[in-house]
Structure 1
């Protein structure tokens, strides 16, 4: 009897939520987890128990296990100096009467300039950046399931304008620090395993220790980091550093993202172009000349559900600028040429003049 009582005390039964009358809660959860995220606001109005479920980790775990998660865009804007504004895209492309728009989320507790960004599951890691012109080693984590911030593991060194990438659930960060001491030199590159919660050094040769990184991406388990003078790649499987070819180095400037193994970025001539790592060539993304503006000021990109989502700024007149988004379905023909087709495009936000796009990330929720 005592053994049975101990077992009941150690493993209490979860409270019944009565999600759907006449259905067991586990069956109801299985059904509700399959409903598209765009319908969750309406779903929350059905009952208090369902509204409670939508903010419960159990619900997000079920969506992940059922492979029902959807990619959601998170966007960071800089406004009035060091102030950072955070938004998430409420996407409703099939209903013209309910347009796509950016919805505010709580801002980061300690905004910094030149932070690096990485995404693992529903978490956005904001890494380093300078605060009052001093590179920081702090890491902040946004849990996008609940739009709440928490402190992450502190890096070994402070960084600003570093490169970051995620491979096999681990975050690799490199550069953004002056390698003028033994500690900074040995920690020029670090790796974080969130399951352990500790940053470890990644050995790096002296000749690659550039300070500033202007872009980064992950392709085929390699973290590419583009410095002011040349770029490097770290092969995470073989733990080896490689140089970056001239073709990629000369054509890649600024923000980029990877879709189906092709690295896309926006060039100074007003073109979206893609670099095929296997062919080693830059190619213009065709089919967009008549459907997008000639120049996309502040263009930032993210892979959202296998599509290329581009965010840019435009003059709004008066004291405002407009933030625009376009979702592009990208494909490659038999000759290797890249083509894009607009899924939807439109204005999603108006912000005070002087604001600028900092970064955008896609998160699975």
Structure 2
């Protein structure tokens, strides 16, 4: 789950100055109090609030409104999805971003959905690197590295999900593709994705980005962990776990310590994962959703979902969205298109340590051209 930015860092942004002070938002209330009231309203009702007045509509889109929701712990979770879409006419492809808008899902009855295909396209990124890594922090989505014209890039693109704008962030010290990335204590850590064939790349094999200062810094790392390709990553209780070509590594920023993952975790971790309540979930090669219990150092099958999901989830990826496990995969289709499906699963560990899931809803969320694929999904707080 992405960390929230501190209110001080959000409100210090000069863009937070907004015209909501120019007009009274709610009669007989100061605008500061009115802002506190509006910030507590669930996003499901925001389309109706937008209709009240121009000042309300402007306020709901302001960074100050988002910062207030963060302070009140009123933000809600969006699922952001990156799709690689093929163009049958010329065999080209593009990377497109979409959001699963919680305002289309009733806050107390998730079965009430305004539109069965409720993915909302967002503004296309100026750059489309291959093998980038992705994280979210507060209202921002970060696209880190990746190769452009077969050259690993040091670039970081930042999408402000509130203003719907992309901007170039500070560059990393080295170019990376297929790196591991994660957010811990409000900072973005990036490991690997580069060949340590010279002093600069070896020194900067791991870096950390501080969004408050807007700077990258080197993270000292021992030679034995410096694998090039990082295939999967997860943050568990303040420690970053990343799987490489041979085994995997653990980094604890609080202690400044490195380690190697257990053989049990290494043998069962396949592809993209999501972490909920200290359990790392992934989709294995046998067609099962499994969770790794770090306390017991063992993989466990997620029970209770077999009857509601297909026997095989093609290209499955998953994310922790609001404390629920969201799984996205490719389904069937017609001659030209494929369906992309999503399931929201409530997961828990019972009294004997078994992992159980309950399907909240599952549906087709978009149709895509054949030859397309699901690249990544992650949670953003708005």
Report the TM-score when normalising by structure 2: 0.90
Partner of 1:30: 36
Residues 83 and 97 of structure 1: is their aligned pair in 2 closer, same or farther, counting only changes over 3 Å?
closer
Shift of 1:95: 1.6
In 2, Cα distance between equivalents of 1:289 and 1:224? 28
Alignment equivalent of 1:325, drawn from 342, 345, 348: 342
| Bigger relative CO (Cα 8 Å, ≥ 6 apart) | 2
Partner of 2:362: 345
Shift of 1:330: 0.2
Structure index of larger Rg: 1
Alignment equivalent of 2:277, drawn from 260, 265, 273: 260
In 2, Cα distance between equivalents of 1:15 and 1:246? 58
| 2:21 match: secondary structure | coil
Partner of 1:50: 56
* Structure 1 unmatched ranges of 5 or more: 1-10
Partner of 2:96: 85
Shift of 1:82: 4.6
**Conservation of the 8 A alpha-carbon contact between 1:89 and 1:100:** no
| 2:130 match: secondary structure | coil
In 2, Cα distance between equivalents of 1:288 and 1:232? 31
* Structure 2 unmatched ranges of 5 or more: 1-16, 87-91
Shift of 1:97: 5.1
In 2, Cα distance between equivalents of 1:223 and 1:284? 23
Partner of 2:22: 16
Q: In the alignment, is residue 73 of structure 1 matched against residue 90 of structure 2?
A: no
Show CA shifts across 1:221-246 (max 9, x none): 11111001110111111111101111
Shift of 1:309: 0.6
In 1, Cα distance between equivalents of 2:71 and 2:94? 37
Residues 12 and 61 of structure 1: is their aligned pair in 2 closer, same or farther, counting only changes over 3 Å?
closer
**Conservation of the 8 A alpha-carbon contact between 2:21 and 2:31:** no
In 1, Cα distance between equivalents of 2:325 and 2:116? 19
Q: How many residues align?
A: 355
Show CA shifts across 1:148-168 (max 9, x none): 111111000000000011111
In 1, Cα distance between equivalents of 2:115 and 2:340? 17
**Conservation of the 8 A alpha-carbon contact between 1:311 and 1:323:** yes
Q: In the alignment, is residue 286 of structure 1 matched against residue 303 of structure 2?
A: yes
CA RMSD of aligned residues (A): 1.6
Shift of 1:90: 2.0
Shift of 1:65: 1.2
In 1, Cα distance between equivalents of 2:54 and 2:312? 48
Partner of 2:318: 301
In 2, Cα distance between equivalents of 1:13 and 1:94? 37
Residues 13 and 127 of structure 1: is their aligned pair in 2 closer, same or farther, counting only changes over 3 Å?
closer
